[in-house]
């Protein structure tokens, strides 16, 4: 019996009808999907009854696990009272109002207004438009360029993919668009010069940013866009002094600081926001993923008053702010997000993430001496282990990603779902993870890593 014939009828339907995101379409035709049927706590179960630790929180996002009854009940209550309404032309509903108020209260720096979208990509796209709109209102008609970073991830719409600095998200799509500029990735292990300290590396990156602003012309650069800690680009923790230095450069040249907290927000780094972990004072914050534990699609962007006031003036002049989404601030999504934030606070899950993060990183550090491991890194309840061909030289493998994919496949065989980013394997379990479950994550990774080493040696 061939592989396709052995698949369930549901999997075969998927192959026939479904184009998957972030998937090799031809390979999918051959091997089909892993069909996930249900979830409970930090676990998910496929349609064959197999159990997996979801060590990635789905997509860095399911803070409360996969069957939180309070979130389910919050959605049901809202569906019964008001299943949908929009926020266009002066309309509002209680959940969106209360969530906006809550986010302004939670923000680590003074913010003025909240704008809701359905995804982080839409939110980042909206930030670009609003900054252009604001600068036009101020007569800064040339100040439209955005600087982001290589390996940064900010989404996949045309504009947000132009911010993103990952080749896989740009090849074949004719992005980045004009006006989007990228500077270096703040990965000390991979990009520092020989003997360069973290502080020296941070200084060099800040100098690069300033030279880029000067080359483009400060009068043309609107904002610097970055994640506190890079997520999809490899779980890259910035070097010491980095954010202090780059913020000083931005303030010197009147460049806004936009912080993409989509992965870092709501406890992932061991504090409520990554901006607090790394002492960032953003002009704009972008939030999603753990905002609702991904039980509902929702994202939000927070803007300070210096951005809001010109936008408000311009909208009054034009008669309306001509931007918005049908589902933006959806009543069910905002109701679930409110309940999600209550649970995170009531159950002290930010503190739990910091504590469990210490256990995770202590365990991962034990793999540093493994022959294939180049670097173990992370912060709070997010981490990564990078595999290298040669530990001394840090040389990557010739076929980048091949070993990482094999390792991720082995962890799945041992009942754990991770994500490889090239040859780095990421860990991002739900905030509710317990100590015994952290130990299970480490044990399953150890077995998969040993299998990967044997397989690698056999290929030589």
The sheet carrying 416-417 orders its strands as 36-40, 43-46, 51-54, 416-417
The C-alpha angle with vertex 288 and arms to 287 and 290, in degrees rounded to 5, equals 110
3-state SS record for the chain: CCCCCCCCHHHHHHHHHCCCCCCCHHHHHHHCCCCEEEEECCEEEECCCCEEEECCHHHHCCCCCCCCHHHHHHHHHHHHHCCCCCCCCCCCCHHHHHHHHHHHHHCCCCCCEEEEECCHHHHHHHHHHHHHHHHHHCCCCCCCEEEEECCCCCCCCHHHHHHCCCHHHCCCCCCCCCCEEEECCCCHHHHCCCCCCHHHHHHHHHHHHHHHHHHHCHHHEEEEEECCCECCCCCECCCCCHHHHHHHHHHHCCCEEEEECCCCCCCCCCCCCHHHHCCCCCCEEEECHHHCCCCCCCEEEEECHHHHHHHHHHHHHHCCCCCCCCCCCCHHHHHHHHHHHHHHHHCCHHHHHHHHHHHHHHHHHCCCCCCCEEEEEECCCCEEEEECCECCCCECCCCCCHHHHHHHHHHHHCCEECEEECCEEEECCCCCCCHHHHHHHHHHHHHHHHHHHHHHHHHC
What is the b/e burial string over 86-113, where b = at least 16 CB atoms within 10 angstroms of the residue's CB? bbeeeeebebbeebbebbeebbbeebbb
pLDDT at 1: 43
* Residue 40 bridge partners (DSSP): 43
pTM here is 0.96
User: Strand pairing of 383-387 and 424-427?
Assistant: antiparallel
List the domains of the chain with CATH numbers: 34-67+348-459 (3.90.1150.10), 70-346 (3.40.640.10)
The pLDDT tens digits along the chain (460 residues) read 456 666 789 999 999 999 999 999 999 999 999 999 999 999 999 999 999 999 999 999 999 999 999 999 999 999 999 999 999 999 999 999 999 999 999 999 999 999 999 999 999 999 999 999 999 999 999 999 999 999 999 999 999 999 999 999 999 999 999 999 999 999 999 999 999 999 999 999 999 999 999 999 999 999 999 999 999 999 999 999 999 999 999 999 999 999 999 999 999 999 999 999 999 999 999 999 999 999 999 999 999 999 999 999 999 999 999 999 999 999 999 999 999 999 999 999 999 999 999 999 999 999 999 999 999 999 999 999 999 999 999 999 999 999 999 999 999 999 999 999 999 999 999 999 999 999 999 999 999 999 999 999 998 7
């Amino acid at each position: 019996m061939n592989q396709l014939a052995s698949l369930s009828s549901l999997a075969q339907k998927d192959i026939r009808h479904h184009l998957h995101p972030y998937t090799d379409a031809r390979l999918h035709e051959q091997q089909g999907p892993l069909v996930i049927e249900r979830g409970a706590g930090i676990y998910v179960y496929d349609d064959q009854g197999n159990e997996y630790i979801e060590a990635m929180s789905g997509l860095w996002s399911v803070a409360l696990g996969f069957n939180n009854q309070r979130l389910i009940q919050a959605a049901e209550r809202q569906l019964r009272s008001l299943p949908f309404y929009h926020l266009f032309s002066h309309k509002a509903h209680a959940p969106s109002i209360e969530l906006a108020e809550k986010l302004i209260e939670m923000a680590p720096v003074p913010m003025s207004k909240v704008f809701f979208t359905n995804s982080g990509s839409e939110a980042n796209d909206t930030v670009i438009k609003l900054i252009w709109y604001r600068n036009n209102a101020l007569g800064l008609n040339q100040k439209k360029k955005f600087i982001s970073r290589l390996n940064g991830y900010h989404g996949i719409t045309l504009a947000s993919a132009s911010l993103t600095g990952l080749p896989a998200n740009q090849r074949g799509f004719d992005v980045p668009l004009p006006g989007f500029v990228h500077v270096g990735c703040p990965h000390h292990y991979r990009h520092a010069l020989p003997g360069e300290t973290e502080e020296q590396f941070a200084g060099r990156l800040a100098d690069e940013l300033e030279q880029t602003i000067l080359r483009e012309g400060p009068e043309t650069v609107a904002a610097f866009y970055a994640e506190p800690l890079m997520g999809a680009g490899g779980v890259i923790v910035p070097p010491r002094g980095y954010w202090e230095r780059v913020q000083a450069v931005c303030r010197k040249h009147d460049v806004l600081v936009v912080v993409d907290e989509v992965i870092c927000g709501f406890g992932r780094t061991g504090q409520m926001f990554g901006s607090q972990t790394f002492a960032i004072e953003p002009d704009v914050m972008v939030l999603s993923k753990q905002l609702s534990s991904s039980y509902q699609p929702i994202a939000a962007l927070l803007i300070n008053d210096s951005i809001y006031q010109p936008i408000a003036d311009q909208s009054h002049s034009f008669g309306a702010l001509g931007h918005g989404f049908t589902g933006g601030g959806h009543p069910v999504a905002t109701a679930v997000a409110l309940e999600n934030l209550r649970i995170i606070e009531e159950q002290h899950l930010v503190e739990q993430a910091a504590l469990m993060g210490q256990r995770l990183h202590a365990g991962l550090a034990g793999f540093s001496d493994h022959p294939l491991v180049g670097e173990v890194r992370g912060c709070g309840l997010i981490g990564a282990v990078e595999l290298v061909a040669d530990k001394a030289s840090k040389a990557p493998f010739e076929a980048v990603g091949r070993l990482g994919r094999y390792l991720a496949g082995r962890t799945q065989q041992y009942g754990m779902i991770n994500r490889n980013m090239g040859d780095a394997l990421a860990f991002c379990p739900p905030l509710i993870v317990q100590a015994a479950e952290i130990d299970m994550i480490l044990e399953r990774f150890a077995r998969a890593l040993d299998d990967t080493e044997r397989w690698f040696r056999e290929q030589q």
